[in-house]
Amino acid sequence: MADPKATALMEKIVSLCKRRGFIFQSSEIYGGINGFWDYGPLGAELKRNVKELWWRQMTRLRDDVVGLEATIIMHPQIWKASGHVDTFSDPMSTCRHCKKLVRADQVWEQLPENAWAQAVAELCPSGHVDSARLLGWAKGKGQRVAPNLALVRNPEVTLSWLAERVQQNPAPLETKELYQYLATEQFPQTGLVTPCPHCGGELTAPRPFNLMFKTHYGPVESDDNLCYLRPETAQAIFVQFKNVLETSRQKVPFGIAQMGKAFRNEVTPRNYTFRSREFEQMELEFFIKPDEAVEAQAGAVAAVDAAGHPGEPQANWGWQMWHKYWVEERIKFYEGIGLPRTTLEEYWQKPEELAHYARACVDILFKFPFGTQELEGIAARSDYDLSQHERCSGKAMGVFDEELRTAWGKLPKEKQDELWKRYFEARRKYLERTGEVPEKAAITARTNADGLAKGQYIPHVIEPSAGVDRLILGLITHAYSEVTDTDDKGKSETRVIMKFHPRVAPIKIAVLPLLKNKPELVKKAQEVFALLRGEMNTFYDEAGSIGRRYARQDEAGTPFCITIDFDTLGEKPELLNTVTLRHRDDGQQERLPIAELLGYLLPKIR
Protein backbone atom coordinates (compact mmCIF):
# COMPACT_ATOMS: atom_id res chain seq x y z
CA MET A 1 0.00 0.00 0.00
CA ALA A 2 2.93 2.30 0.58
CA ASP A 3 3.25 3.37 -3.00
CA PRO A 4 6.19 5.79 -3.23
CA LYS A 5 4.50 7.63 -6.11
CA ALA A 6 1.39 8.15 -4.03
CA THR A 7 3.48 9.37 -1.12
CA ALA A 8 5.31 11.83 -3.37
CA LEU A 9 2.00 13.09 -4.71
CA MET A 10 0.61 13.51 -1.21
CA GLU A 11 3.70 15.46 -0.24
CA LYS A 12 3.18 17.83 -3.14
CA ILE A 13 -0.46 18.25 -2.21
CA VAL A 14 0.36 18.91 1.44
CA SER A 15 2.93 21.46 0.36
CA LEU A 16 0.49 23.21 -1.96
CA CYS A 17 -2.20 23.25 0.73
CA LYS A 18 0.14 25.05 3.05
CA ARG A 19 1.58 27.41 0.44
CA ARG A 20 -1.79 28.56 -0.82
CA GLY A 21 -3.62 28.51 2.48
CA PHE A 22 -5.93 25.52 2.24
CA ILE A 23 -4.78 23.57 5.28
CA PHE A 24 -2.38 24.35 8.11
CA GLN A 25 -1.18 22.25 10.95
CA SER A 26 -3.03 23.17 14.13
CA SER A 27 -0.98 25.06 16.72
CA GLU A 28 1.97 25.04 14.35
CA ILE A 29 4.09 27.65 16.15
CA TYR A 30 4.06 25.46 19.25
CA GLY A 31 5.16 22.41 17.30
CA GLY A 32 1.77 21.23 16.16
CA ILE A 33 -0.60 18.78 17.77
CA ASN A 34 -1.12 15.30 16.45
CA GLY A 35 -4.43 14.72 14.72
CA PHE A 36 -5.62 18.31 14.48
CA TRP A 37 -5.68 20.52 11.41
CA ASP A 38 -6.83 24.03 10.56
CA TYR A 39 -8.29 25.38 7.35
CA GLY A 40 -6.69 28.51 5.92
CA PRO A 41 -8.58 31.12 3.91
CA LEU A 42 -9.08 28.99 0.80
CA GLY A 43 -9.77 25.82 2.77
CA ALA A 44 -12.37 27.57 4.90
CA GLU A 45 -14.22 28.74 1.78
CA LEU A 46 -14.01 25.29 0.22
CA LYS A 47 -15.39 23.60 3.32
CA ARG A 48 -18.13 26.16 3.74
CA ASN A 49 -19.22 25.63 0.15
CA VAL A 50 -19.38 21.87 0.57
CA LYS A 51 -21.38 22.10 3.77
CA GLU A 52 -23.79 24.60 2.30
CA LEU A 53 -24.35 22.43 -0.75
CA TRP A 54 -25.03 19.43 1.45
CA TRP A 55 -27.42 21.36 3.67
CA ARG A 56 -29.20 22.80 0.66
CA GLN A 57 -29.60 19.49 -1.10
CA MET A 58 -30.41 17.45 2.00
CA THR A 59 -32.81 19.79 3.77
CA ARG A 60 -33.85 22.99 2.01
CA LEU A 61 -34.64 21.39 -1.31
CA ARG A 62 -36.54 18.54 0.31
CA ASP A 63 -39.98 18.53 1.88
CA ASP A 64 -39.18 15.56 4.06
CA VAL A 65 -36.01 16.62 5.89
CA VAL A 66 -35.50 19.23 8.60
CA GLY A 67 -32.37 20.40 10.34
CA LEU A 68 -30.98 20.27 13.85
CA GLU A 69 -28.01 21.78 15.58
CA ALA A 70 -27.30 20.12 18.89
CA THR A 71 -24.56 20.55 21.46
CA ILE A 72 -21.28 18.73 21.39
CA ILE A 73 -21.45 17.82 25.06
CA MET A 74 -24.54 15.89 26.00
CA HIS A 75 -25.80 13.76 28.86
CA PRO A 76 -23.23 11.01 29.43
CA GLN A 77 -25.91 8.34 29.53
CA ILE A 78 -26.51 8.91 25.84
CA TRP A 79 -23.20 7.24 25.16
CA LYS A 80 -24.09 4.35 27.39
CA ALA A 81 -27.32 3.84 25.46
CA SER A 82 -25.62 4.17 22.09
CA GLY A 83 -22.99 1.63 23.03
CA HIS A 84 -20.05 3.99 22.64
CA VAL A 85 -18.92 3.78 26.25
CA ASP A 86 -18.49 0.04 25.87
CA THR A 87 -17.41 -0.38 22.28
CA PHE A 88 -15.16 2.64 22.06
CA SER A 89 -12.67 1.45 24.63
CA ASP A 90 -10.65 -1.34 23.14
CA PRO A 91 -7.99 -2.82 25.38
CA MET A 92 -4.84 -3.18 23.28
CA SER A 93 -1.66 -5.15 23.79
CA THR A 94 1.62 -4.95 21.95
CA CYS A 95 3.86 -7.91 21.22
CA ARG A 96 7.25 -7.33 22.84
CA HIS A 97 8.93 -9.26 20.04
CA CYS A 98 7.24 -8.56 16.72
CA LYS A 99 5.79 -5.23 17.92
CA LYS A 100 2.36 -5.86 16.45
CA LEU A 101 -0.63 -4.22 18.05
CA VAL A 102 -3.35 -6.66 19.04
CA ARG A 103 -6.79 -6.15 20.50
CA ALA A 104 -6.61 -7.90 23.85
CA ASP A 105 -10.22 -9.04 23.67
CA GLN A 106 -9.59 -10.79 20.37
CA VAL A 107 -6.42 -12.67 21.22
CA TRP A 108 -8.22 -15.86 22.19
CA GLU A 109 -10.36 -15.75 19.07
CA GLN A 110 -7.39 -15.14 16.80
CA LEU A 111 -5.05 -17.70 18.33
CA PRO A 112 -6.73 -20.93 17.20
CA GLU A 113 -6.63 -19.66 13.61
CA ASN A 114 -2.85 -19.48 13.56
CA ALA A 115 -0.67 -22.32 12.38
CA TRP A 116 1.59 -22.53 15.42
CA ALA A 117 -1.32 -22.57 17.83
CA GLN A 118 -3.04 -25.35 15.90
CA ALA A 119 0.15 -27.38 15.77
CA VAL A 120 0.70 -27.11 19.51
CA ALA A 121 -2.89 -28.04 20.28
CA GLU A 122 -2.56 -31.16 18.14
CA LEU A 123 0.56 -32.20 20.03
CA CYS A 124 -1.38 -32.18 23.26
CA PRO A 125 -4.70 -33.90 22.51
CA SER A 126 -7.45 -32.96 24.96
CA GLY A 127 -5.01 -30.96 27.04
CA HIS A 128 -2.75 -33.84 27.94
CA VAL A 129 0.79 -32.55 27.87
CA ASP A 130 3.36 -34.49 25.87
CA SER A 131 6.66 -32.88 26.71
CA ALA A 132 8.73 -34.98 24.33
CA ARG A 133 6.67 -34.08 21.29
CA LEU A 134 6.54 -30.43 22.31
CA LEU A 135 10.31 -30.39 22.64
CA GLY A 136 10.69 -31.97 19.22
CA TRP A 137 8.38 -29.43 17.65
CA ALA A 138 10.15 -26.54 19.37
CA LYS A 139 13.49 -27.62 17.91
CA GLY A 140 12.06 -28.20 14.47
CA LYS A 141 8.98 -26.69 12.88
CA GLY A 142 8.32 -24.32 15.76
CA GLN A 143 11.47 -22.38 14.87
CA ARG A 144 9.76 -21.18 11.74
CA VAL A 145 6.10 -20.69 12.67
CA ALA A 146 6.49 -19.30 16.19
CA PRO A 147 10.05 -17.96 16.50
CA ASN A 148 9.28 -15.82 19.55
CA LEU A 149 7.34 -18.37 21.56
CA ALA A 150 9.03 -19.09 24.88
CA LEU A 151 8.80 -22.80 24.16
CA VAL A 152 10.86 -22.30 21.01
CA ARG A 153 13.36 -19.85 22.42
CA ASN A 154 13.99 -21.74 25.64
CA PRO A 155 12.20 -25.12 25.59
CA GLU A 156 13.77 -26.68 28.68
CA VAL A 157 12.84 -23.90 31.07
CA THR A 158 9.42 -23.40 29.61
CA LEU A 159 8.59 -27.09 29.81
CA SER A 160 9.79 -27.23 33.38
CA TRP A 161 7.08 -24.78 34.49
CA LEU A 162 4.55 -26.81 32.63
CA ALA A 163 5.78 -30.00 34.23
CA GLU A 164 5.44 -28.39 37.65
CA ARG A 165 1.87 -27.46 36.87
CA VAL A 166 1.03 -31.02 35.79
CA GLN A 167 2.67 -32.43 38.86
CA GLN A 168 0.63 -30.23 41.18
CA ASN A 169 -2.58 -30.71 39.29
CA PRO A 170 -2.84 -33.72 36.98
CA ALA A 171 -6.05 -32.46 35.36
CA PRO A 172 -5.73 -31.76 31.62
CA LEU A 173 -5.11 -28.15 30.62
CA GLU A 174 -7.56 -25.91 28.83
CA THR A 175 -6.11 -24.82 25.48
CA LYS A 176 -5.93 -21.25 26.75
CA GLU A 177 -3.87 -22.32 29.74
CA LEU A 178 -1.68 -24.49 27.56
CA TYR A 179 -0.90 -21.56 25.25
CA GLN A 180 -0.08 -19.41 28.23
CA TYR A 181 2.32 -21.95 29.71
CA LEU A 182 4.07 -22.39 26.37
CA ALA A 183 4.55 -18.63 26.19
CA THR A 184 5.95 -18.36 29.71
CA GLU A 185 9.67 -18.40 30.23
CA GLN A 186 10.15 -16.53 33.52
CA PHE A 187 7.15 -17.78 35.44
CA PRO A 188 8.14 -16.39 38.87
CA GLN A 189 8.71 -12.90 37.44
CA THR A 190 5.95 -12.60 34.89
CA GLY A 191 3.30 -15.10 35.87
CA LEU A 192 1.45 -16.67 32.96
CA VAL A 193 2.12 -14.82 29.72
CA THR A 194 -0.34 -14.31 26.90
CA PRO A 195 1.24 -15.18 23.56
CA CYS A 196 1.11 -12.99 20.46
CA PRO A 197 -1.11 -14.70 17.90
CA HIS A 198 1.33 -13.79 15.14
CA CYS A 199 4.71 -14.93 16.44
CA GLY A 200 4.11 -16.41 19.88
CA GLY A 201 6.00 -13.59 21.59
CA GLU A 202 5.04 -12.03 24.89
CA LEU A 203 2.18 -9.55 24.87
CA THR A 204 2.21 -6.52 27.15
CA ALA A 205 -0.58 -6.08 29.66
CA PRO A 206 -3.68 -4.69 27.94
CA ARG A 207 -3.93 -0.92 27.99
CA PRO A 208 -7.30 0.71 27.51
CA PHE A 209 -7.61 2.82 24.36
CA ASN A 210 -10.66 4.90 25.01
CA LEU A 211 -11.61 6.62 21.82
CA MET A 212 -13.91 9.16 23.44
CA PHE A 213 -12.59 12.49 24.66
CA LYS A 214 -13.46 13.01 28.29
CA THR A 215 -14.09 16.24 30.10
CA HIS A 216 -16.12 17.49 33.04
CA TYR A 217 -19.05 19.82 33.29
CA GLY A 218 -19.03 22.23 36.19
CA PRO A 219 -15.93 23.60 37.84
CA VAL A 220 -15.04 20.61 39.99
CA GLU A 221 -13.66 17.50 38.37
CA SER A 222 -15.19 14.34 39.70
CA ASP A 223 -16.65 11.10 38.46
CA ASP A 224 -20.11 12.58 38.97
CA ASN A 225 -19.71 15.19 36.28
CA LEU A 226 -17.67 13.23 33.78
CA CYS A 227 -18.89 13.79 30.24
CA TYR A 228 -17.74 13.23 26.70
CA LEU A 229 -17.20 15.20 23.57
CA ARG A 230 -19.52 13.51 21.12
CA PRO A 231 -17.85 10.86 18.97
CA GLU A 232 -20.58 11.25 16.35
CA THR A 233 -23.40 13.68 15.67
CA ALA A 234 -26.05 11.03 15.12
CA GLN A 235 -27.10 10.44 18.72
CA ALA A 236 -28.27 14.01 19.19
CA ILE A 237 -30.75 13.47 16.41
CA PHE A 238 -32.14 10.36 18.07
CA VAL A 239 -32.52 11.94 21.47
CA GLN A 240 -34.27 14.99 20.01
CA PHE A 241 -36.40 12.91 17.71
CA LYS A 242 -39.67 13.48 19.55
CA ASN A 243 -39.15 17.22 19.90
CA VAL A 244 -38.43 17.60 16.21
CA LEU A 245 -41.37 15.40 15.28
CA GLU A 246 -43.75 17.48 17.36
CA THR A 247 -42.54 20.88 16.21
CA SER A 248 -41.79 20.34 12.54
CA ARG A 249 -45.17 19.06 11.31
CA GLN A 250 -43.37 16.12 9.72
CA LYS A 251 -44.65 12.56 9.55
CA VAL A 252 -42.69 9.36 9.08
CA PRO A 253 -41.04 8.90 6.62
CA PHE A 254 -38.94 11.99 7.20
CA GLY A 255 -35.39 12.86 8.14
CA ILE A 256 -33.37 15.06 10.46
CA ALA A 257 -30.08 16.45 9.21
CA GLN A 258 -27.20 17.76 11.21
CA MET A 259 -23.67 18.94 10.56
CA GLY A 260 -21.10 19.45 13.22
CA LYS A 261 -17.91 18.61 15.01
CA ALA A 262 -17.20 15.21 16.49
CA PHE A 263 -14.16 13.97 18.38
CA ARG A 264 -12.32 10.69 18.55
CA ASN A 265 -9.07 9.86 20.24
CA GLU A 266 -7.80 7.86 17.31
CA VAL A 267 -4.97 5.47 18.02
CA THR A 268 -3.14 6.70 14.98
CA PRO A 269 -4.27 9.79 13.11
CA ARG A 270 -2.81 9.29 9.65
CA ASN A 271 -2.95 10.31 6.03
CA TYR A 272 -2.98 14.06 6.46
CA THR A 273 -6.46 15.20 7.48
CA PHE A 274 -8.10 11.89 6.60
CA ARG A 275 -8.29 10.56 10.14
CA SER A 276 -8.31 13.51 12.50
CA ARG A 277 -9.12 13.58 16.18
CA GLU A 278 -11.41 16.55 15.74
CA PHE A 279 -13.51 16.30 12.63
CA GLU A 280 -16.81 17.29 11.18
CA GLN A 281 -19.70 15.13 10.09
CA MET A 282 -22.74 15.66 7.91
CA GLU A 283 -25.36 13.19 8.99
CA LEU A 284 -28.91 12.45 8.07
CA GLU A 285 -31.10 10.16 10.10
CA PHE A 286 -34.01 9.26 7.91
CA PHE A 287 -36.88 7.69 9.81
CA ILE A 288 -39.07 5.17 8.05
CA LYS A 289 -41.90 2.85 8.95
CA PRO A 290 -41.12 -0.74 9.82
CA ASP A 291 -41.76 -3.03 6.87
CA GLU A 292 -44.73 -4.56 8.66
CA ALA A 293 -46.44 -1.14 8.72
CA VAL A 294 -45.64 -0.52 5.06
CA GLU A 295 -47.06 -3.87 4.14
CA ALA A 296 -50.21 -3.25 6.16
CA GLN A 297 -50.81 0.02 4.36
CA ALA A 298 -49.54 -0.65 0.83
CA GLY A 299 -50.37 -4.34 0.58
CA ALA A 300 -46.78 -5.33 -0.22
CA VAL A 301 -43.28 -3.96 0.20
CA ALA A 302 -41.60 -2.91 -3.04
CA ALA A 303 -38.89 -5.28 -4.17
CA VAL A 304 -35.41 -4.01 -4.92
CA ASP A 305 -34.36 -5.27 -8.29
CA ALA A 306 -33.25 -2.71 -10.85
CA ALA A 307 -29.83 -1.14 -10.56
CA GLY A 308 -29.49 2.63 -10.38
CA HIS A 309 -31.59 5.32 -8.76
CA PRO A 310 -35.07 4.08 -7.84
CA GLY A 311 -36.70 7.47 -8.50
CA GLU A 312 -39.11 9.42 -6.32
CA PRO A 313 -39.99 7.85 -2.95
CA GLN A 314 -43.11 5.68 -2.94
CA ALA A 315 -45.50 4.67 -0.19
CA ASN A 316 -44.68 0.99 -0.61
CA TRP A 317 -40.96 1.36 0.03
CA GLY A 318 -39.54 -0.76 2.80
CA TRP A 319 -36.16 -0.30 4.36
CA GLN A 320 -34.33 -1.88 1.43
CA MET A 321 -35.71 0.55 -1.13
CA TRP A 322 -35.09 3.49 1.13
CA HIS A 323 -31.56 2.33 1.73
CA LYS A 324 -30.94 1.92 -1.99
CA TYR A 325 -32.49 5.32 -2.59
CA TRP A 326 -30.14 7.07 -0.19
CA VAL A 327 -27.09 5.33 -1.57
CA GLU A 328 -27.97 6.63 -5.01
CA GLU A 329 -28.87 10.09 -3.74
CA ARG A 330 -25.54 10.39 -2.00
CA ILE A 331 -23.58 9.27 -5.03
CA LYS A 332 -25.50 11.86 -7.05
CA PHE A 333 -24.38 14.46 -4.53
CA TYR A 334 -20.73 13.55 -4.95
CA GLU A 335 -21.06 13.65 -8.71
CA GLY A 336 -22.65 17.07 -8.42
CA ILE A 337 -19.64 18.51 -6.64
CA GLY A 338 -17.11 17.12 -9.05
CA LEU A 339 -16.27 13.60 -7.94
CA PRO A 340 -17.17 11.41 -10.90
CA ARG A 341 -18.51 7.95 -10.32
CA THR A 342 -15.24 6.49 -11.59
CA THR A 343 -13.44 7.93 -8.57
CA LEU A 344 -15.94 6.35 -6.18
CA GLU A 345 -16.57 2.82 -5.10
CA GLU A 346 -19.52 1.25 -3.37
CA TYR A 347 -18.75 -1.32 -0.76
CA TRP A 348 -21.61 -3.40 0.58
CA GLN A 349 -20.57 -4.70 3.95
CA LYS A 350 -20.77 -8.43 4.30
CA PRO A 351 -23.25 -9.82 6.83
CA GLU A 352 -20.45 -10.79 9.23
CA GLU A 353 -19.01 -7.26 9.13
CA LEU A 354 -22.25 -5.57 10.11
CA ALA A 355 -22.91 -4.26 13.57
CA HIS A 356 -25.42 -6.57 15.23
CA TYR A 357 -28.29 -4.10 14.90
CA ALA A 358 -27.56 -3.14 11.30
CA ARG A 359 -29.49 -4.66 8.44
CA ALA A 360 -27.11 -3.39 5.76
CA CYS A 361 -24.37 -0.85 5.35
CA VAL A 362 -22.87 0.59 2.20
CA ASP A 363 -19.64 2.49 2.28
CA ILE A 364 -19.00 5.07 -0.38
CA LEU A 365 -15.27 4.99 -0.94
CA PHE A 366 -13.08 7.46 -2.76
CA LYS A 367 -9.86 6.63 -4.52
CA PHE A 368 -7.37 8.67 -2.52
CA PRO A 369 -3.72 8.60 -3.58
CA PHE A 370 -2.95 6.65 -0.39
CA GLY A 371 -5.67 4.11 -1.04
CA THR A 372 -9.39 3.68 -1.57
CA GLN A 373 -10.98 4.89 1.62
CA GLU A 374 -14.38 5.64 3.06
CA LEU A 375 -16.08 8.99 2.61
CA GLU A 376 -19.50 8.04 3.84
CA GLY A 377 -21.39 5.12 5.27
CA ILE A 378 -25.06 4.56 4.58
CA ALA A 379 -26.42 2.24 7.20
CA ALA A 380 -29.82 0.66 7.63
CA ARG A 381 -29.92 0.64 11.42
CA SER A 382 -33.33 -0.92 12.06
CA ASP A 383 -35.15 0.59 15.05
CA TYR A 384 -32.16 -0.02 17.27
CA ASP A 385 -31.24 3.57 18.14
CA LEU A 386 -34.65 4.85 19.13
CA SER A 387 -35.35 1.60 20.96
CA GLN A 388 -32.16 1.96 22.95
CA HIS A 389 -33.04 5.48 24.00
CA GLU A 390 -36.58 4.46 24.85
CA ARG A 391 -35.25 1.67 27.03
CA CYS A 392 -32.48 3.70 28.69
CA SER A 393 -34.35 6.96 29.20
CA GLY A 394 -37.72 5.44 29.94
CA LYS A 395 -39.32 7.92 27.50
CA ALA A 396 -41.48 6.64 24.68
CA MET A 397 -39.84 7.03 21.30
CA GLY A 398 -42.60 5.56 19.19
CA VAL A 399 -44.92 7.40 16.84
CA PHE A 400 -48.64 7.07 16.24
CA ASP A 401 -49.78 6.62 12.67
CA GLU A 402 -53.48 7.19 12.09
CA GLU A 403 -53.36 5.82 8.56
CA LEU A 404 -51.72 2.63 9.72
CA ARG A 405 -54.42 2.09 12.30
CA THR A 406 -57.13 2.55 9.68
CA ALA A 407 -55.37 0.31 7.18
CA TRP A 408 -54.80 -2.36 9.80
CA GLY A 409 -58.47 -2.52 10.61
CA LYS A 410 -59.28 -3.34 6.98
CA LEU A 411 -56.78 -6.22 6.76
CA PRO A 412 -57.97 -9.82 6.76
CA LYS A 413 -57.34 -11.62 10.01
CA GLU A 414 -54.63 -13.90 8.57
CA LYS A 415 -52.66 -10.92 7.32
CA GLN A 416 -52.98 -9.16 10.65
CA ASP A 417 -51.71 -12.23 12.42
CA GLU A 418 -48.83 -12.67 10.05
CA LEU A 419 -47.66 -9.07 10.39
CA TRP A 420 -48.22 -9.11 14.14
CA LYS A 421 -46.08 -12.17 14.47
CA ARG A 422 -43.23 -10.77 12.38
CA TYR A 423 -43.17 -7.54 14.34
CA PHE A 424 -43.37 -9.44 17.59
CA GLU A 425 -40.39 -11.63 16.63
CA ALA A 426 -38.28 -8.65 15.59
CA ARG A 427 -38.98 -6.84 18.83
CA ARG A 428 -38.36 -9.92 20.92
CA LYS A 429 -35.07 -10.55 19.21
CA TYR A 430 -33.95 -7.00 19.90
CA LEU A 431 -34.99 -7.17 23.55
CA GLU A 432 -33.25 -10.48 24.14
CA ARG A 433 -30.08 -9.09 22.63
CA THR A 434 -30.10 -6.31 25.18
CA GLY A 435 -29.97 -8.94 27.90
CA GLU A 436 -33.64 -8.99 28.80
CA VAL A 437 -34.84 -12.27 30.31
CA PRO A 438 -36.82 -14.22 27.67
CA GLU A 439 -40.17 -14.11 29.48
CA LYS A 440 -40.02 -10.36 30.00
CA ALA A 441 -38.82 -9.80 26.44
CA ALA A 442 -41.79 -11.74 25.15
CA ILE A 443 -44.21 -9.69 27.24
CA THR A 444 -42.78 -6.38 26.06
CA ALA A 445 -42.62 -7.56 22.46
CA ARG A 446 -46.26 -8.57 22.71
CA THR A 447 -47.16 -5.08 23.90
CA ASN A 448 -45.17 -3.61 21.01
CA ALA A 449 -46.91 -5.82 18.47
CA ASP A 450 -50.31 -4.97 19.92
CA GLY A 451 -49.25 -1.34 19.54
CA LEU A 452 -48.53 -1.83 15.86
CA ALA A 453 -52.11 -2.94 15.36
CA LYS A 454 -53.17 0.38 16.89
CA GLY A 455 -50.87 2.38 14.62
CA GLN A 456 -47.91 2.62 16.97
CA TYR A 457 -44.33 1.76 16.16
CA ILE A 458 -40.75 2.77 16.69
CA PRO A 459 -39.40 4.14 13.39
CA HIS A 460 -36.53 2.47 11.64
CA VAL A 461 -33.57 4.48 10.46
CA ILE A 462 -31.52 4.88 7.32
CA GLU A 463 -28.36 6.80 8.13
CA PRO A 464 -26.20 8.44 5.46
CA SER A 465 -23.24 9.68 7.47
CA ALA A 466 -20.42 11.56 5.78
CA GLY A 467 -17.09 12.92 6.96
CA VAL A 468 -16.67 16.51 5.84
CA ASP A 469 -12.92 16.77 6.25
CA ARG A 470 -12.14 13.62 4.34
CA LEU A 471 -14.45 14.81 1.59
CA ILE A 472 -12.51 18.07 1.47
CA LEU A 473 -9.31 16.06 1.21
CA GLY A 474 -10.89 14.00 -1.55
CA LEU A 475 -11.87 17.14 -3.45
CA ILE A 476 -8.37 18.54 -3.07
CA THR A 477 -6.58 15.38 -4.19
CA HIS A 478 -8.97 14.98 -7.10
CA ALA A 479 -8.61 18.60 -8.17
CA TYR A 480 -4.82 18.50 -8.11
CA SER A 481 -3.28 18.44 -11.56
CA GLU A 482 -0.06 19.56 -13.13
CA VAL A 483 0.75 20.93 -16.57
CA THR A 484 4.22 21.39 -17.91
CA ASP A 485 4.81 24.25 -20.36
CA THR A 486 7.94 24.76 -22.35
CA ASP A 487 8.68 28.33 -23.39
CA ASP A 488 10.51 29.61 -26.50
CA LYS A 489 13.86 29.27 -24.81
CA GLY A 490 13.17 25.61 -24.11
CA LYS A 491 12.78 26.22 -20.41
CA SER A 492 10.02 24.07 -19.05
CA GLU A 493 8.00 24.81 -16.00
CA THR A 494 5.40 22.81 -14.13
CA ARG A 495 2.31 24.59 -12.94
CA VAL A 496 -0.40 23.32 -10.65
CA ILE A 497 -4.06 23.66 -11.51
CA MET A 498 -6.64 22.87 -8.86
CA LYS A 499 -9.60 21.75 -10.94
CA PHE A 500 -12.38 22.20 -8.42
CA HIS A 501 -15.95 22.05 -9.60
CA PRO A 502 -17.16 25.68 -9.76
CA ARG A 503 -19.78 24.90 -7.13
CA VAL A 504 -17.14 24.13 -4.50
CA ALA A 505 -14.27 26.33 -5.70
CA PRO A 506 -13.18 28.69 -2.90
CA ILE A 507 -12.92 31.68 -5.22
CA LYS A 508 -15.42 31.75 -8.05
CA ILE A 509 -13.91 34.49 -10.12
CA ALA A 510 -10.92 36.83 -10.18
CA VAL A 511 -11.17 40.33 -11.61
CA LEU A 512 -7.94 41.52 -13.15
CA PRO A 513 -7.08 44.84 -14.79
CA LEU A 514 -4.67 44.06 -17.60
CA LEU A 515 -2.24 46.69 -16.31
CA LYS A 516 -2.13 48.37 -12.98
CA ASN A 517 -0.40 51.57 -14.05
CA LYS A 518 -3.34 52.65 -16.20
CA PRO A 519 -5.88 54.24 -13.84
CA GLU A 520 -8.75 53.83 -16.32
CA LEU A 521 -8.28 50.06 -16.37
CA VAL A 522 -8.03 49.87 -12.60
CA LYS A 523 -11.12 52.00 -12.12
CA LYS A 524 -13.17 49.89 -14.50
CA ALA A 525 -11.92 46.68 -12.91
CA GLN A 526 -12.95 47.94 -9.48
CA GLU A 527 -16.43 48.60 -10.83
CA VAL A 528 -16.74 45.08 -12.14
CA PHE A 529 -15.39 43.73 -8.85
CA ALA A 530 -18.03 45.68 -6.94
CA LEU A 531 -20.71 44.31 -9.23
CA LEU A 532 -19.73 40.67 -8.67
CA ARG A 533 -18.59 40.44 -5.08
CA GLY A 534 -22.07 40.65 -3.62
CA GLU A 535 -23.12 37.58 -5.60
CA MET A 536 -20.13 35.26 -5.26
CA ASN A 537 -16.70 35.03 -3.72
CA THR A 538 -14.69 37.32 -5.98
CA PHE A 539 -11.00 38.15 -5.87
CA TYR A 540 -9.40 41.31 -7.15
CA ASP A 541 -5.74 41.26 -8.15
CA GLU A 542 -3.62 43.81 -9.93
CA ALA A 543 -0.13 42.80 -8.82
CA GLY A 544 2.27 41.20 -11.27
CA SER A 545 2.00 40.29 -14.91
CA ILE A 546 -1.29 38.99 -16.18
CA GLY A 547 0.17 35.51 -16.70
CA ARG A 548 1.40 35.37 -13.14
CA ARG A 549 -1.99 36.35 -11.84
CA TYR A 550 -3.67 33.64 -13.90
CA ALA A 551 -1.21 31.11 -12.50
CA ARG A 552 -1.97 32.20 -8.95
CA GLN A 553 -5.67 31.69 -9.55
CA ASP A 554 -5.02 28.27 -11.11
CA GLU A 555 -3.38 27.16 -7.89
CA ALA A 556 -6.29 28.49 -5.88
CA GLY A 557 -8.66 26.60 -8.17
CA THR A 558 -10.55 29.69 -9.35
CA PRO A 559 -12.62 28.52 -12.32
CA PHE A 560 -12.98 31.92 -13.99
CA CYS A 561 -10.84 35.01 -14.46
CA ILE A 562 -11.98 38.16 -16.19
CA THR A 563 -9.61 40.75 -17.56
CA ILE A 564 -10.36 44.39 -18.14
CA ASP A 565 -8.42 45.62 -21.17
CA PHE A 566 -8.44 48.62 -23.46
CA ASP A 567 -11.28 47.18 -25.52
CA THR A 568 -13.39 47.19 -22.36
CA LEU A 569 -12.85 50.93 -22.30
CA GLY A 570 -13.91 51.22 -25.96
CA GLU A 571 -10.66 51.13 -27.95
CA LYS A 572 -12.65 49.07 -30.41
CA PRO A 573 -16.11 50.70 -30.03
CA GLU A 574 -17.97 47.47 -30.71
CA LEU A 575 -16.25 45.87 -27.70
CA LEU A 576 -17.07 48.66 -25.25
CA ASN A 577 -17.99 47.23 -21.84
CA THR A 578 -17.01 43.70 -22.69
CA VAL A 579 -14.38 41.66 -20.86
CA THR A 580 -12.39 38.53 -21.58
CA LEU A 581 -13.44 35.58 -19.52
CA ARG A 582 -10.79 32.92 -19.10
CA HIS A 583 -11.52 29.30 -18.24
CA ARG A 584 -9.16 27.71 -15.76
CA ASP A 585 -8.92 24.18 -17.07
CA ASP A 586 -8.01 24.88 -20.69
CA GLY A 587 -6.99 28.55 -20.64
CA GLN A 588 -9.57 29.33 -23.32
CA GLN A 589 -10.98 32.82 -23.43
CA GLU A 590 -14.22 34.29 -24.58
CA ARG A 591 -15.50 37.85 -24.75
CA LEU A 592 -18.61 38.76 -22.78
CA PRO A 593 -20.49 41.99 -22.08
CA ILE A 594 -20.22 43.01 -18.42
CA ALA A 595 -24.00 43.15 -18.24
CA GLU A 596 -24.22 39.44 -19.06
CA LEU A 597 -21.62 38.26 -16.55
CA LEU A 598 -23.92 37.41 -13.67
CA GLY A 599 -26.41 35.62 -15.87
CA TYR A 600 -23.57 33.58 -17.29
CA LEU A 601 -21.77 32.79 -14.04
CA LEU A 602 -24.50 32.21 -11.48
CA PRO A 603 -25.92 29.00 -12.99
CA LYS A 604 -22.43 27.55 -13.15
CA ILE A 605 -21.64 28.04 -9.49
CA ARG A 606 -24.98 27.09 -7.91
Residue with Cβ nearer RNA (32 or 127): 32
Shortest Å, Cβ 405 to RNA: 36
Closer CB to RNA, 449 or 512, in the complex: 512
Question: Of 387 and 558, which CB lies nearer to RNA in the complex structure?
Answer: 558
Phi (first) and psi of residue 518, to 5 degrees: -115, 100
Q: Give me the least distance between CB of 499 and RNA, in Å please.
A: 14
* DSSP letter assigned to residue 185: S
Q: Decide if 331 contacts 294 (C-beta within 8 A).
A: no
Kindly state the smallest distance separating residue 102's Cβ from RNA, in Å: 7
Query: From the CB of 174, what's the least distance to RNA, in Å?
Result: 26
Alpha-carbon separation of residue 64 from 312, 401, 497, 595 (angstroms): 12, 16, 39, 39
Nearer to RNA, 294 or 514 (CB): 514
Angle at the Cα of 183 from the Cα atoms of 179 and 185, rounded to 5 degrees: 140
- Of 41 and 299, the one with the shorter C-beta distance to RNA is 41
List of residues 6+ apart from 147 with CB closer than 8 A:
97, 153, 199, 200
Q: What is the DSSP string of 444-495?
A: HHHHHHHHHHTTEEPPEEEEEEEEHHHHHHHHHHHHEEEEEEE-TTS-EEEE
Minimum separation from the CB atom of position 332 to RNA (A): 17
* Residues 54, 333 contacting (CB under 8 angstroms): yes
Q: CB of residue 470 vs RNA: minimum separation in angstroms?
A: 5
CB 466 within 8 A of CB 375: yes
What is the rounded CA–CA span in Å between residue 564 and residue 73? 52
Contact 9, 15 (CB under 8 A): no
CB of 432 to RNA, least distance (A): 24
Residue number with CB closer to RNA (261 or 421): 261
SS3 425: helix
Q: Which is nearer to RNA, 427 or 582 (CB)?
A: 582
Which residue, 189 or 268, has its beta carbon nearer to RNA?
268
Sign of the Cα pseudo-torsion (64, 70, 74, 75, in order): negative
Nearest distance in Å: CB 128, RNA:
33
Residue pair 243/275 in contact (Cβ under 8 Å)? The answer is no
